[in-house]
């Protein structure tokens, strides 16, 4: 297997490129830009995108090589995320569930090699996954990375919770990804806190989410009350109770997270694996504990979560190289 590779996570709003030692997924260097898929789709026609994606990626590789020339030289590039969407570099069909945690069933396409100052690089574009009613791009690769962690492997059966703009709940059974659901929790929080009447009732500084007691109150209400009704409590807490805007921000966060997670208390008992970076990790862990689910919970350290994409791509790289 190649001793190193370049882990590319090409999202909607940003590009993250890492030079990774394949054996232990150690990151030798990292480079980030704001050249996300949405920006490139807005600025360039579909006909122009192929050349522009190559230019952006080549520039990122050159920048990465300045920090880790030996690791970057001729290293294959694996790309996950939105680059395989209809807005991206090339649209690939979604892989259909179930998918193996060893990479079985995943869909990828090898593109023309990329020439950079650091050499000639194979380029592999990895697609997302779908079930009958839902889609994702990127989280399925991170799940492979999770399965490679001894302390976090969900192979025997678990529900993996991956908070984000669009949170994912990934159901794993018998070593396979069998189903998943998407919750627009992060996007709802952004829209409601910045573009609705509730913007006047919550602090705009994210530090307000640190009020864990207010968050717990929100979680309980999110479990007990219909969401549309609960949301107006954000305003009435300010108008009637003069609640501090920072506490109200945490309350709104808890309300949405509680609504997302409440169904888990009614599900058959299974291990819950929380994969999140901060500050989402602390908020979701607090919510799960408030809902009485702490005994079923395994929390993956944020430092490991940061490497899940790289670890997952390392699993897929072995399959790519075996097909030479």
- 296 burial class (0-12, 13-18, 19+ CB within 10 angstroms)? middle
104 and 212, same domain (yes or no): no
pLDDT > 70: percent of the chain: 96
Same domain? For 131 and 11 the reply is yes
Residue 273 has pLDDT above 70, yes or no: yes
Residues 34 and 164: their CA atoms lie apart, in Å, by: 18
Give the chain's mean pLDDT.
94
Is residue 275 within 8 Å of residue 160, measured between CB atoms?
yes
Please state the rounded mean pLDDT for residues 239-260: 97
Whole-model pTM?
0.93
Between CA 31 and CA 289 the distance in angstroms is 36
Q: How far is CA 128 from CA 56, 105, 109, 124, 162, in A?
A: 22, 11, 12, 13, 15
In a domain, 270, yes or no: yes
The structure tokens listed for 226 are: 């219909």
Query: Quick one: what percent of the chain has pLDDT higher than 90?
Result: 86
- Please report whether residue 166 resides in a domain: no
Both 190 and 285 in a single domain?
yes
DSSP label at 158?
A: E
Total domains in the fold of the chain: 2
By mean pLDDT, which of 43-47, 108-112, 258-262, 303-307 is the weakest?
Answer: 43-47
Domain closes at, from 104, 137, 170: 137
Q: Across 11-165, where does the E strand assignment appear? A: 15-21, 26-33, 77-81, 95-96, 99-100, 108-116, 119-126, 129-130, 135-136, 157-162
Which token pair is 313? 């791509």
Domain that holds residue 276: 183-303
Give me the pLDDT at residue 1, please.
47
């Amino acid at each position: 297997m190649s001793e190193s590779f370049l882990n590319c996570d090409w999202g909607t709003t940003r590009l993250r490129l890492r030079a990774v030692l394949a054996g232990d997924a150690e990151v030798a260097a990292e480079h980030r830009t704001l050249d996300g898929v949405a920006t490139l789709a807005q600025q360039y026609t579909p006909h122009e995108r192929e050349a522009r994606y190559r230019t952006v990626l080549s520039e990122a590789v050159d920048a990465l090589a300045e920090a880790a020339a030996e690791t970057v030289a001729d290293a294959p590039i694996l790309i996950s995320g939105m680059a395989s969407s209809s807005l991206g570099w090339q649209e690939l069909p979604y892989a259909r569930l179930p998918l193996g945690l060893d990479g079985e069933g995943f869909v990828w396409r090898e593109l023309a090699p990329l020439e950079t100052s650091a050499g000639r690089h194979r380029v592999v574009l990895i697609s997302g996954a779908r079930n009958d009613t839902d889609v994702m791009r990127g989280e399925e690769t991170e799940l492979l990375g999770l399965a490679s962690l001894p302390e976090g492997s969900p192979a025997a059966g678990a529900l993996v919770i991956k908070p984000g703009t669009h949170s994912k709940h990934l159901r794993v059974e018998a070593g396979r990804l069998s189903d998943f659901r998407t919750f627009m929790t992060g996007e709802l929080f952004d829209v409601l806190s910045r573009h609705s009447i509730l913007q006047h009732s919550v602090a705009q500084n994210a530090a307000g989410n640190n009020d864990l007691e207010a968050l717990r109150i929100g979680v309980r209400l999110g479990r007990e009350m219909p969401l549309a009704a609960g949301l107006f409590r954000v305003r009435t807490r300010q108008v009637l109770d003069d609640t501090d805007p920072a506490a109200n921000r945490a309350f709104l966060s808890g309300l949405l997270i509680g609504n997302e997670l409440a169904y888990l208390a009614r599900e058959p008992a299974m291990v819950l694996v929380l994969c999140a970076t901060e500050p989402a990790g602390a908020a979701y862990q607090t919510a799960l504990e408030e809902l009485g689910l702490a005994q079923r919970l395994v929390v993956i350290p944020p430092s490991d979560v940061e490497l899940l994409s790289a670890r997952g791509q390392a699993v897929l790289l072995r399959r790519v190289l075996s097909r030479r």
